[in-house]
């Protein structure tokens, strides 16, 4: 697993999340990732919150494990010359700089790939590489709001709200890696690299694609469900005697199993509830009968019965409950950082049955300048 991308060198000029997450994926898969940072302060993520280890915030450690750090002043002739040397020996370059910065420095995709034709250049922006807003910066909550993603989150009476996870930032980093790997494959055949462009807005639009496509093709505005689904019923969370339980009846066969476990086989003969489409049209009437029944037992009691009967269900966990669950522990998603006393979440993929492991702790600012013959400015 340590050698899957061995021999691939990635330059990452990334800030905070999307670019650094792309670099972290490459690092976990075995590539050498050289993080280029400002001389003064480095990546802003180093200071996103209180010091966690080695003077840097936890967020920096999460997204920069396994990398090397080179402090560089790209506003100086010496810094640009050092960057050019690094780019000449790199396979992939990733950045999420503010729009216009790379053009001002002369390291935009077209210019850099003209000088280094084998380079795969990955640019990450907020609003996309073209269009009237292409030069505007943006952040996760702004993009979720602008894209309509916030408008489909929450329940029918809730205000628009962002998702708790940074799905646009991290998703965009993932798309950048997918594009880079595709061009690495093409380079095997042609010898040439190319430019990958992706953005937080495009990622958000893909995540909202089911809702947007329904509106574009059928004129349907999405119903908002806190935990439910517009196409199935019952398919959401319900309160039990102690804790919430999510039940997913994705077809009539599963609903029949649920009805039987609840002692309500009569529902299967009731024209209001016999089919999924009927249940969608009579959801209030069904839930008026279903909710009191679920209140009669605890979540653990219902889980045992429903799982034995084959009814898809899950406890609505808190984060501590989720990471302590035997299934999550069996997956080994939380991995120790070598030489350190803390754990970080690993990549959600296994290859030949093995999950990529963290290779080393996030680097100190400029820790590897000497390794690449880049003098520390100042």
Note the pLDDT of residue 4.
92
H-helix or E-strand spanning residue 183? helix 167-190
Per cent of the chain over pLDDT 90 is 92
pTM over 0.85: yes
Q: Under a CB-based contact definition with an 8 Å cutoff, are residues 126 and 197 in contact?
A: no
Note the pLDDT of residue 322.
95
What value does the mean pLDDT take over residues 308-334?
95
Note the pLDDT of residue 3.
82
Q: Summarize pLDDT for 335-349 with one digit per residue, the tens.
A: 999 999 999 999 999
Q: Under a CB-based contact definition with an 8 Å cutoff, are residues 35 and 101 in contact?
A: no
Note the pLDDT of residue 224.
81
Return the ∠ at Cα 339 (arms to 335 and 345), rounded to 5°: 20
Burial grade of 40 (CB within 10 A; 0-12, 13-18, 19 or more): exposed
β-pairing verdict for 32-37 and 68-71: parallel
**HSE-up of 111 (CA within 13 Å, CB side)?**
8
Q: Under a CB-based contact definition with an 8 Å cutoff, are residues 143 and 201 in contact?
A: yes
Average pLDDT score, the chain: 95
Q: Which residue has the higher pLDDT, 3 or 187?
A: 187
State the Cα–Cα distance between residues 68 and 50, nearest whole angstrom: 22
For residue 378, is pLDDT > 80?
no
Q: Summarize pLDDT for 259-317 with one digit per residue, the tens.
A: 999 999 999 999 999 999 999 999 999 999 999 999 999 999 999 999 999 999 999 99
Catalytic residues: 169
**Residue 58 CA to its chain's centroid (Å):** 17
Note the pLDDT of residue 1.
55
- Pick the closest to residue 315 from 222, 371, 247, 225 (CA basis): 247
Note the pLDDT of residue 167.
97
Q: Summarize pLDDT for 217-271 with one digit per residue, the tens.
A: 999 887 887 777 888 999 999 999 999 999 999 999 999 999 999 999 999 999 9
SS3 271: coil
Q: Which residue has the higher pLDDT, 225 or 179?
A: 179
Note the pLDDT of residue 156.
86
Note the pLDDT of residue 69.
98
State the Cα–Cα distance between residues 120 and 179, nearest whole angstrom: 9
Q: Under a CB-based contact definition with an 8 Å cutoff, are residues 28 and 66 in contact?
A: yes
| Residue 65 burial (CB count, 10 A) | 24
pLDDT bucket at 92, cuts 50 / 70 / 90: very high
Q: Summarize pLDDT for 25-63 with one digit per residue, the tens.
A: 999 999 999 999 999 999 999 999 999 999 999 999 999
Note the pLDDT of residue 376.
86
Place of tokens 């309500």: 264
State the Cα–Cα distance between residues 327 and 49, nearest whole angstrom: 31
Q: Under a CB-based contact definition with an 8 Å cutoff, are residues 271 and 261 in contact?
A: no
Q: Which residue has the higher pLDDT, 2 or 70?
A: 70
For residue 2, is pLDDT > 70?
no
CA distances from 314 to 164, 302, 323, 333 (A): 20, 10, 14, 19
Q: Which residue has the higher pLDDT, 157 or 190?
A: 190
Q: Under a CB-based contact definition with an 8 Å cutoff, are residues 343 and 336 in contact?
A: yes
For residue 163, is pLDDT > 80?
yes
């Amino acid at each position: 697993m340590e050698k899957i991308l061995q021999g691939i060198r990635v330059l990452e000029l990334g800030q905070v999340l999307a670019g650094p997450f792309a670099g972290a994926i490459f690092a976990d898969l075995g590539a050498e990732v050289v993080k280029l940072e400002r001389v003064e302060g480095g990546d802003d993520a180093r200071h996103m919150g209180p010091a966690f280890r080695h003077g840097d915030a936890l967020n920096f450690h999460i997204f920069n494990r396994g990398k090397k750090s080179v402090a560089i002043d790209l506003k100086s002739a010496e810094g640009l010359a050092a960057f050019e040397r690094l780019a000449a020996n790199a396979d992939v370059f990733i950045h999420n700089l503010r729009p216009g910065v790379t053009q001002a420095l002369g390291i935009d995709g077209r210019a850099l790939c003209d000088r280094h034709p084998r380079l795969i250049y990955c640019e990450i922006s907020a609003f996309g590489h073209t269009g009237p807003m292409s030069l505007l910066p943006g952040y996760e909550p702004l993009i979720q709001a602008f894209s309509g993603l916030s408008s489909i989150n929450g329940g029918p009476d809730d205000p628009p709200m962002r998702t708790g996870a940074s799905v646009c930032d991290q998703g965009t980093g993932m798309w950048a890696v997918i594009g880079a790997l595709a061009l690495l494959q093409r380079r095997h055949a042609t010898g040439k690299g190319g430019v990958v462009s992706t953005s937080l807005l495009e990622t958000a639009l893909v995540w909202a694609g089911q809702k947007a496509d329904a509106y574009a093709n059928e004129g349907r505005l999405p119903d908002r469900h806190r935990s439910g689904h517009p196409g199935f019923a019952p398919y959401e969370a319900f309160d039990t005697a102690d804790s919430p339980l999510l039940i997913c009846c994705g077809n009539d066969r599963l609903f029949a199993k649920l009805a039987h476990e609840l002692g309500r086989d009569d529902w299967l003969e009731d024209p209001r509830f016999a089919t999924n489409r009927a249940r969608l049209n009579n959801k209030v009437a069904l839930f008026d009968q279903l909710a009191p029944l679920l209140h009669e037992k605890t979540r653990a009691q219902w889980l045992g019965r429903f799982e034995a009967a084959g009814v898809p269900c899950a406890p609505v966990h808190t984060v501590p409950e989720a990471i302590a669950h035997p299934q999550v522990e069996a997956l080994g998603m939380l991995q120790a950082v070598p030489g350190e006393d803390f754990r970080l979440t690993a990549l959600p993929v296994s290859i030949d049955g093995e999950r990529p492991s963290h290779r080393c702790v996030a680097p100190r600012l400029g820790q590897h300048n000497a390794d690449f013959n880049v003098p520390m400015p100042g």
